[in-house]
């Protein structure tokens, strides 16, 4: 079986969600990776050390500031040449944009946001979280068509590199005529903290914060432990936080190592976005709040007292 991994990268560094995909148990598969755009050659070492046999580099002036359209076209052409059985991409904004484009263009089977993928004995199966995380669906592919699968970040442990391994490199040229879209400008976010989808630790505040200003309590705590700031939808709707921070069914789906919910009730739509976090901590005045059913650690208390104390303790530990 031939597996192709779409390697995401930034400033010459392999993205963490791509590194995680390399930790999937791919059995005896022949593992290829493709890197698009400038800087792809600097990934070859990391990919080879993590089990990729061949790295394909696609570059073209049309891909310098690529759009979903040009990237999809470039990868579509290359996938047709390589003819893999499975294409794996991270379920990141880029992967979410690309996977359906590729599946439609190549008439492939599609399974997105998978939390487990298995390639045992040539049979590919994937698991996806459904019904707001209340159940898991097992997806089986019923014919030999190409399978395009995206993997939810932070659900697989990245493998340790093995310096004795290396990958072959090939350069691939593509034709990108007649683009219908062009990238005009990238407006850099003013968020100085990590994004909730990338952070290992998230501190989330809910409606109970009462104002945008009071979120400074959450921000200070997050900064003291290097965390991202998340928000419930109620806090976003009230104008306390921007939508980009919203966690949940209609926000972002996250799986950090530690999720600290401060004054968040734990509505099912919120749980849908953070249920797969490795360790969940809840701080809530109501001992019957639903979030405590999911939490590994709970503090029944007023966040306005508890959170500043945690911040002080973290600062002391940091020596500041």
Ligand X SMILES: Cc1cc2nc3c(=O)[nH]c(=O)nc-3n(C[C@H](O)[C@H](O)[C@H](O)COP(=O)(O)OP(=O)(O)OC[C@H]3O[C@@H](n4cnc5c(N)ncnc54)[C@H](O)[C@@H]3O)c2cc1C
Interaction of residue 95 with ligand X, rule CB under 6 A: no
List binders of ligand X among 187-206 (CB under 6 A).
Answer: 206
**Least distance CB 274 / ligand X (angstroms):** 9
Residue closer to ligand X (CB basis): 138 or 302: 302
Three-state DSSP at 262 gives: strand
Does residue 285 bind ligand X (CB under 6 A)? Answer: yes
Q: Of residues 13, 166, 214, 269, which one binds ligand X by CB under 6 A?
A: 269
Count of Cβ atoms closer than 10 Å to residue 136 Cβ = 12
Candidates 46, 265, 277, 311: give the one binding ligand X (CB under 6 A). Answer: 265
Q: Which is nearer to ligand X, 174 or 235 (CB)?
A: 235
Task: State the Cα torsion 159-103-44-120 to the nearest 10°.
Answer: 40
Say if residues 32 and 148 touch (Cβ distance below 8 Å): no
Pick from 9, 56, 270, 275 the residue near ligand X by CB under 6 A.
270
Position of tokens 């459904």? Answer: 130
CB of 147 to ligand X, least distance (A): 29
The string over 139-163, giving b where at least 16 C-beta atoms fall within 10 Å of a residue's C-beta and e elsewhere, is bebeeeebbbbbbbbbbbeebebee
Least Cα distance to 189 among 226, 229, 148 occurs for: 229
Nearest 10 degrees: Cα torsion 127, 93, 97, 129:
20
- Applying CB under 6 A, does 289 fall inside the site for ligand X? yes
Q: Does 277 bind ligand X (CB under 6 A)?
A: no
How far apart are CB 79 and ligand X at their closest, in Å? 33
Nearest to residue 265, comparing CAs of 304, 291, 227?
Answer: 291
Instruction: Name the minimum Å distance from CB 298 to ligand X.
Output: 11
H or E, element range at 210:
none
Binding string, 223-262, against ligand X, x = CB under 6 A? Answer: ---------xxxx----------x-xxxx-----------
Helices (H) and strands (E) in the chain, counts: 9, 16
Least distance from ligand X to the Cβ atom of residue 179, Å: 34
**Residues at the site binding ligand X, with contacts judged by CB under 6 A:** 206-208, 232-235, 246, 248-251, 263-265, 267, 269-270, 273, 283-286, 289, 302-304
């Amino acid at each position: 079986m031939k597996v192709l991994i779409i390697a995401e990268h930034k400033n010459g560094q392999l993205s963490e969600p791509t590194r995680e995909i390399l930790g999937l148990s791919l059995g005896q598969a022949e593992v290829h990776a493709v890197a698009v755009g400038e800087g792809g050659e600097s990934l070859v070492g990391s990919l080879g050390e993590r089990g990729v046999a061949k790295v394909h580099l696609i570059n073209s002036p049309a891909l310098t500031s690529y759009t979903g359209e040009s990237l999809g076209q470039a990868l579509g052409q290359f996938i047709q040449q390589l003819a893999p059985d499975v294409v794996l991409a991270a379920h990141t904004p880029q992967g979410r944009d690309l996977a359906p484009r590729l599946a439609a263009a190549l008439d492939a089977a599609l399974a997105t946001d998978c939390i487990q993928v298995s390639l045992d004995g040539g049979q590919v199966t994937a698991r996806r979280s459904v019904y707001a995380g209340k159940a898991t669906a097992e997806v089986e592919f019923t014919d030999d068509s190409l399978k395009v699968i995206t993997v939810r970040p932070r659900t697989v442990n990245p493998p340790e590199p093995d310096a004795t391994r290396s990958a072959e490199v090939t350069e691939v040229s593509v034709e990108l005529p007649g683009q219908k879209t062009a990238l005009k400008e990238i407006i850099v976010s003013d968020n100085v903290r990590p994004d909730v989808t990338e952070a290992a630790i998230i501190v989330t505040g809910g409606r109970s914060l009462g104002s945008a200003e009071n979120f400074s309590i959450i921000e200070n705590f997050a900064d003291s432990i290097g965390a991202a700031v998340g928000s419930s939808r109620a806090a976003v709707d009230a104008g306390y936080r921007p939508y980009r921070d919203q966690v949940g069914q209609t926000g972002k789906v996250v799986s950090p190592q530690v999720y600290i919910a401060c004054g968040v009730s734990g509505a099912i739509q919120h749980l849908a976005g953070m249920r797969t976090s490795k360790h969940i901590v809840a701080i809530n005045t109501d001992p019957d709040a639903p979030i405590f059913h999911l939490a590994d650690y709970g503090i029944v208390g007023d966040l306005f007292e508890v959170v500043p104390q945690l911040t002080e303790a973290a600062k002391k530990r940091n020596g500041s």
